[in-house]
Structure 1
Amino acid sequence: MKLANVTGVGIGKDEYSGADVIVVFVTRTVPRDRLRDEDVIPDLLEGVPVRVLAIGETAAQ
């Protein structure tokens, strides 16, 4: 997945339902109407719910 603002992707559990989800890590959240269509993160990927988590800037340690 190569989208603007995305820094990583992982697998996790939904904090409310406990269901498996795909977690997309971004530097900051951006309203959908301010993103290009090709940079919008989908709500589902192959039937699996997607959650977006803003983690800020990252750097190797």
Structure 2
Amino acid sequence: MQLANVTGVGIGRDELSGEDVIVVFVTRAVPRELLPADDVVPDELEGVPVRVLAIGPVDAQDQES
């Protein structure tokens, strides 16, 4: 996904309902009404619910041998 703020996408399980969901990781939570329409994360993709999780900035780390 090439939406503003999106840093990653994964799969998970909703903590309340227990259903499988797509998790979209974002740097910060932004209310839908403040986002351009092209940057709004959909509520579902191909029938699978989507959850947005704000995790802050993501930086690559050096791997030590």
TM-score (norm 2): 0.92
- Which residue number corresponds to residue 57 of structure 1? 57
Q: Which aligned pairs between 1:1-61 and structure 2 lie closer than 5 A?
A: 1-61=1-61
Which runs of at least 4 in structure 1 moved beyond 6 Å after TM superposition? none
Q: TM (normalized to structure 1)?
A: 0.97
1:19 partner letter: E
SS in structure 2 of the partner of residue 56 of structure 1: coil
Unaligned runs of 5+ in 2: none
Alignment length (residue pairs): 61
Letter in 2 for 1:20: D
Give the CA deviation at 1:33.
1.0
Distance (Å, rounded) in 2 between the aligned partners of 1:11 and 1:57: 20
Paired with 2:31 and 2:53, the residues of 1 have a C-alpha distance of 14
Q: Deviations over 1:3-58 (max 9, x none)?
A: 00000000000010110000000000001111000000000100000000000011
* Aligned residue type for 2:19: A
